[in-house]
Structure 1
Amino acid sequence: MGTPNGRVKLNVGGRIFETTATTLEFAGENSFFRAMLDDNWNSAITEHFIDRNPDCFGVLLDLLRTGDLYIPPKIDKKLLYKEAEYYGILDQVWSAECAKFDGNRPRLARSLTGWSVRDGKISRAIHASPTGWCCVAHGSMAHVYDWMLEERPTINLDYHKVNDVHWVDSNNIVVSSNEKLDNGGMGLFNASTGELSYKFQVTDVLKGYRAGALGFNSDNKLFSSCNNANNGHGIGVWDQVTGKQINFLNRSPYRRQSYASRLQWLHDTNCMMIASFNPRNDISLYDVRNDKVVWSWSGVYAPNSYDVQDEKIFRDATAIEESNSICIVDWNECLGFMDLRGDGTINWRNSIKDVNPFSNWEYRSNNCYPKLAFHEGQLFSSLNDTITVYSGSDLVPTSQFLQSHGGPICDFSIAGDRLFALHRNEDVLDVWETPRGLTIS
């Protein structure tokens, strides 16, 4: 294709562009230009016509030439993103525009509105994709937003409340619901179309159970907390490729545990962290390969945690593999750290917030549980409408950020270059980013 020295002439919407095959190769294997660079495709053509927007093409061509993205004020960003999607170079635009998310340098990129999350009985959970997409559980539906923050077709579970959502790859989402597992209470959905790919199969032992919190490991195994009407608890294990159930963990300490609220895969140790928050505080590490519990901790039992005045009832937990520890957070946003090599002793730290103890039920019922996340060496903790960031080897508080409206944050999720924060009192989903120019090495 083109001339012997590699020059390529493109007519885009009536405007002529000249570039080289080497420049177009930076578009990648899955781009629009891959076929054009194939020597077996129309090699005699010296000028190729592309019926697209020439202004946007010029910006994208400069991105391929230099690696930098400059969008002139006259060009609509959404249109540019659409054009980049057409050419198959949206990933390059994303990488050029935003860095990995840094909690010390956040920028509110956009607030999404248009649906209500006011009903306290409606499930509210959010999960971000490494490619900049996110999925929000809301009642019996899951709303999916793509990288351009446009809503894709809604996943509808026919009036069965969504319990959890989780990305298995850039194209597929697993959704768990209040429907019994033997009736199809957990399914794999296409993120772009909202269509059901398949329902996860169950053996007789899980008939009558419902799926809750989800987790995944690097060997294509899907884990889900399960419970039934007889107060039976356990962890179901599936092959996420075939949808077949391969195990059910209901031995001690799972029989002792409450319904698991958080599952997190630890890559370095091949273990799954299983955490339960109510009515008992329990955490354990399950070794997947050897099928055994390698570490466990049990805390305060509180049938009604609102009545407990001074006890440290934690509301979320996250494993920090870098320090071989687990961080927990209580109602006051006090952080506790447990060394996984020790006896489970908790080292408590006070929050940087100047707050009163949240011991009364009225305050707690009007706010949301604190949430935790660990991302790129930083610990994030939400309380009310604010997210606090802890950095450095000692995880000291370094910054806070909040939105001026939206009310308490009921959940947030970080992946790639974005943090998504879901508010309870208003129909607001905040999207935070770190612009490329603010990154410091």
Structure 2
Amino acid sequence: MADQTPNPMIPGRRIKLNVGGRFFETTVSTLHSAGPDSLLAALSNRPFLPRSNPIFIDRDPEIFSVLLSLLRSNRLPSTSLRRFSIQELAEEALYYGVESRLRSASLPSSLRGIDASIVDTIRPASDAVPSTFSAGEDGSLWIAHGGQISIYDPYLSYTAAVRTHLDDITSICRVWPEIAAIGSESTSGLHIYDLFSGHYTGSVHWTDQDDPRIYKARVSAIANSPDSIFVSFDCPHRENSVLVIDKLTLRVTSELTRQSGSAAKNTVPGKLSWLPETGLIIGSAVTCGAFGYSGYIRIWDPRSKEVVWETNEPGSGRSSRFGDSFADIDVDTDDSILFKICSKSGDLAMADVRKLGDDPWVYMEDTNPSMRETSYSGNDVHLHCYKRQVFVGKDGGLEVWSRQNGSYETIMPLEISDTENRRPEVCFKRNYVDKAEDAERGMIKRIEGGGERLFVSRENVEGIEVWESSNHSGIIPVSP
């Protein structure tokens, strides 16, 4: 009787593989878990005879054993990242078609600032003191240092460096996954680079033939929407503007504002944010002098080119905390919630961009008694909203404000018709993210979240710190 070919699709059927001279035995279901388009699934579908030789794969058997363990348990063995680099594992995972499984197992768990810690410091090979950086939604990182941009993938493995025509880079924004819009303090204009190919693609300058004061305009801040790039420019004589630039043509489509920066309320916006829900642009500027902090928050509608709301502190009357000006602001772009940190009291306040009024601020009640009475007066302060957490860098220390109860909808100001006519209490817990020795590393210069990571740079300190939640889901010991 002729030999019958067993059905290769039987999940429990065993299959033998010879990888680089080492023999492995597993099941069809394990190989199918790699995904229908993977090489392993394709090999498991091949018909075979009972006495056929194992399928030979000319690859590294040690790394294959790690990936096979990943398919079996959805976890990486505890020793795998000590034996192999992420780049080595990623290259083999790409060959077998299991890169998505490796990514989900090796990337960090959900970022919680309350238990985050430094897990690494990314240092470019040359000019290691970064001037700025940009974090991607996938946890990847672009670091600007000197006139170069070093690129790191979601595993934070170095992939390439792009040399620009600039001597220094002080602003960088991802306008597409591979396209960077950059600005420099020493060179005028906004410059576009394709970081995947390393090619320069064009520049945009703010000019006005009728106004001789508009020349050598340098970039101060950049924001991005699906169709446009929003850029604030500043001239040597302090004239400044916010321009809207078409992403496809790199042509200026409108000018949201033009002002002379002779006063604090007219200085160039140092931060720009685009709100997906409303399409509004939020710009802010903060200055600190002998008499404390002063600045403004201004919101434009790019469609009408009108200012829809603004506040100046001190002196606008839009805050019940007169004399306690904000030291920095940021916006939760996912929920359209504006946050500010008060310079004297250290209090955190929030406002719903959709319900702004004369005094829209709701002040947080700090539920951590040990951190009350914290003043930010005279300090260099940086505020960053990420994943419904508010991170505050004060000099070298890093704090996080975490919401303790309710959703944003439950903590906005109550309507006038409310019988008690008062605002609800809002409970946030403020904690130090770092340890005392971390705060001594240097003054915090920039904070930005990407993926499930927080990235921090410090003044005149080499590298970018990588902060992750201490409960790392990707490295889980496996019992022998």
Q: Report the TM-score when normalising by structure 2.
A: 0.71
User: Which of 50, 53, 60 matches 2:67?
Assistant: 60
Contact 2:242–2:258 (8 Å) recurs in 1: no
- What's the counterpart of residue 213 of structure 1? 221
User: Which of 106, 118, 121 matches 1:108?
Assistant: 118
1:418 Cα deviation after fit? 0.9
User: Which of 261, 265, 275 matches 2:284?
Assistant: 275
The code of the aligned residue for 1:285 comes to I
User: Which of 307, 314, 329 matches 2:341?
Assistant: 329
Larger Rg: 2
| 1:110-149 aligned within 5 A | 110-113=120-123, 124-149=131-156
- What's the counterpart of residue 211 of structure 2? none
Contact 2:339–2:350 (8 Å) recurs in 1: yes
Tell me the distance in 1 between the aligned counterparts of 2:464 and 2:429: 25
Contact 2:32–2:44 (8 Å) recurs in 1: no
1:249 Cα deviation after fit? 1.9
Would you say how many aligned residue pairs link Structure 1 and Structure 2?
Answer: 410
Q: Give 5+ residue unaligned stretches, structure 2.
A: 209-213, 289-293, 316-321, 406-425, 476-480
2:325 is the alignment partner of 1:316: no
User: What is the SS of the residue equivalent to 1:343?
Assistant: coil
The code of the aligned residue for 2:250 comes to G
Contact 1:186–1:211 (8 Å) recurs in 2: no
* CA 437–149 in structure 1, closer or farther in 2 if over 3 Å, else same: closer
Tell me the distance in 2 between the aligned counterparts of 1:208 and 1:3: 75
| 1:187-336 aligned within 5 A | 187-190=192-195, 192=196, 195-201=198-204, 205=208, 208-217=216-225, 219-250=226-257, 257-278=266-287, 281-300=295-314, 311-320=323-332, 324-331=336-343, 333-336=346-349
- What's the counterpart of residue 379 of structure 1? 390
* CA 13–227 in structure 1, closer or farther in 2 if over 3 Å, else same: same
User: What is the SS of the residue equivalent to 1:277?
Assistant: strand
User: What is the SS of the residue equivalent to 2:158?
Assistant: coil
1:85 Cα deviation after fit? 4.8
Contact 1:142–1:155 (8 Å) recurs in 2: yes
The code of the aligned residue for 1:396 comes to F
User: Which of 441, 445, 467 matches 1:432?
Assistant: 467
1:401 Cα deviation after fit? 1.9
Q: Report the TM-score when normalising by structure 1.
A: 0.77
Tell me the distance in 2 between the aligned counterparts of 1:243 and 1:46: 60
2:40 is the alignment partner of 1:5: no
- What's the counterpart of residue 99 of structure 1? 109
Tell me the distance in 2 between the aligned counterparts of 1:270 and 1:276: 20
* CA 290–241 in structure 1, closer or farther in 2 if over 3 Å, else same: same
Tell me the distance in 2 between the aligned counterparts of 1:168 and 1:215: 8
The code of the aligned residue for 1:5 comes to P
- Please list the CA deviations of residues 378-397 of structure 1 after superposition, one character each: whole Å capped at 9, or x if unmatched: 21111122221112243512
Tell me the distance in 1 between the aligned counterparts of 2:298 and 2:442: 33
Tell me the distance in 2 between the aligned counterparts of 1:105 and 1:270: 34
Tell me the distance in 1 between the aligned counterparts of 2:40 and 2:228: 34
1:259 Cα deviation after fit? 0.9
The code of the aligned residue for 2:302 comes to V
1:348 Cα deviation after fit? 5.3
- What's the counterpart of residue 33 of structure 1? 39
Tell me the distance in 2 between the aligned counterparts of 1:3 and 1:281: 76
1:414 Cα deviation after fit? 0.8
The code of the aligned residue for 2:161 comes to T
1:10 Cα deviation after fit? 4.4
Tell me the distance in 2 between the aligned counterparts of 1:408 and 1:163: 17
- What's the counterpart of residue 151 of structure 1? 158
The code of the aligned residue for 2:348 comes to L
The code of the aligned residue for 2:153 comes to D
The code of the aligned residue for 1:104 comes to I
User: What is the SS of the residue equivalent to 1:374?
Assistant: strand
> Quick one: percent identity of the two aligned structures?
22
1:419 Cα deviation after fit? 0.9
Tell me the distance in 2 between the aligned counterparts of 1:137 and 1:271: 28
User: What is the SS of the residue equivalent to 2:467?
Assistant: strand
1:356 Cα deviation after fit? 5.9
1:4 Cα deviation after fit? 4.0
